[in-house]
A = this chain, B = another copy of it.
Amino acid sequence: MKKEPLQLLPAEEASLRLDKVSSQLKASGTEAMLAGDNATLYYLTGRVFAGYAYITDAGEATFFIRRPVELEGDNVVYIHKPEHIPDHLTAMPKSIALELDITPYSAIGRLQAIFPEAKMVNASPMLQAARATKTAFEIEKIRQSGIRQERVYRLIPKLYRPGMTDLELQVEIERASRLEGCLGQFRISGTSMELYMANLLVGDNADNPTPYDFAMGGAGLDPSLPVGCNGTEIRPGESVMADVNGNYTGYMTDMTRTFALGELSPIAMKAHQCSIDICRELSAMARPGTPAKALYVKAEEMAKEAGLHEYFMGHRQKAGFVGHGLGIEINEHPVIAPRSRDIIAEGNVFALEPKFVIPGTGAVGIENTYCVGADKTECLTNAPEPIIYFD
């Protein structure tokens, strides 16, 4: 059988990403990092494998692989278990960064025992920081997801049939997304958030609170997955908010649009326009150096000025943010929230989702994904923003 290269990124791109990670090690005075999270390995190699990347502060990487079989490349070592890693190191590090925020306690204990003399450091903030400013290669992947996601959003009005429930419409959107090439997988850092493909919210179901840290709620179809559509029939005067998976390339865009069957209440129309205005204002403000929390404050201020504060980011239950970084995962940095310490930087990619839940109408507003470029902050999700009416 022909072997395949482990490394799927162009050499320059792989080297750029490795430099970003090893710079974090250097800055923190840590000698090495051992990382095994799927998202981290995908970031470093362009593929997911079962194993570990061992990275030194000098910018050298060794890849220890358990599965799949038959990969090859520089510094590729097959191992059965992580205890064999030291056999392949020229020196044992005095300090080692591990992904403490996402790796289970027991797994960290096992890795720590492999480096009993080393000081353990948290790799998670380093990797978050490295990944928060995207490379040109990454931004292009995200842009391509946005283009394909936009195609699906433009199809949504054609997928509606009179009498449909939220689930029936969502299933047709799922199908259209998959045929357009959506990978389906919705990568989320951590284990607490769960969602299947899309969050379609019709009418007052949008006001059902969920346990998850998503911006919007919904009762869901079953208490084992309490988010999103709950079988509500789409009726005149109620809003249909579609927040659908935009993972077409391993890098996601996040976009929400609001649809309706007939006119919505004046306050819902006003809130929808306020959401569009907030997106405009915040994306113009979001230039390198802007504190992320200033964006949140501005959004909240605009909602208050419009007399819509009661409905801003939810009604019975409110989300504590108005935007979030994204890329390989849906919850990256910067976080656009009141107590965020993130400062907007060139290369940041984030979604803004100033949404409103109006009792009796449902959720309104939009969400777009933006990229902070050298000259401007650009929108990567360009489906029409006004409320779109089903015929």
Q: Give the interface of A toward B (CB within 8 A).
A: 1, 8, 37-38, 42, 46-51, 66-70, 98, 100-109, 122, 124, 167-168, 170-172, 174-175, 178-179, 181, 183-185, 187, 190-192, 194-197, 208-213, 217, 221-226, 247, 249-250, 316-317, 328
Contacts and interface: CB of A to CB of B under 8 A. Distances in A.
Nearest to A178: B171
A317 B224 CA distance: 34
B50 A192 contact: yes
Given A168-B179, A222-B250, A217 B68 contact: yes
Given A196-B185, A209-B68, A104 B106 contact: no
7 contacts: A48-B226, A67-B210, A68-B226, A69-B316, A100-B105, A168-B179, A174-B178
Contacts of A178: 167, 170-171, 174
Contacts of A192: 38, 50
Contact of A175 (B8, B108, B175, B211): B175
B70 A223 contact: no
Contacts of A208: 68
A164 to B, nearest CB: 12
A209 B352 CA distance: 38
Contact of A67 (B172, B183, B249, B317): B317
Given A68-B208, A100-B105, A103-B105, 15 more contacts: A1-B316, A8-B223, A48-B226, A50-B212, A67-B210, A69-B209, A69-B317, A70-B209, A100-B104, A102-B104, A171-B178, A174-B178, A183-B221, A183-B225, A223-B250
Contacts of A191: 37-38, 102, 191
A140 to B, nearest CB: 15
Contact of A210 (B68, B172, B226, B250): B68
Nearest to A184: B196
Contact of A223 (B37, B46, B168, B247): B46
B224 A48 contact: yes
Nearest to A220: B183
A33 to B, nearest CB: 15
Contacts of A212: 50, 67
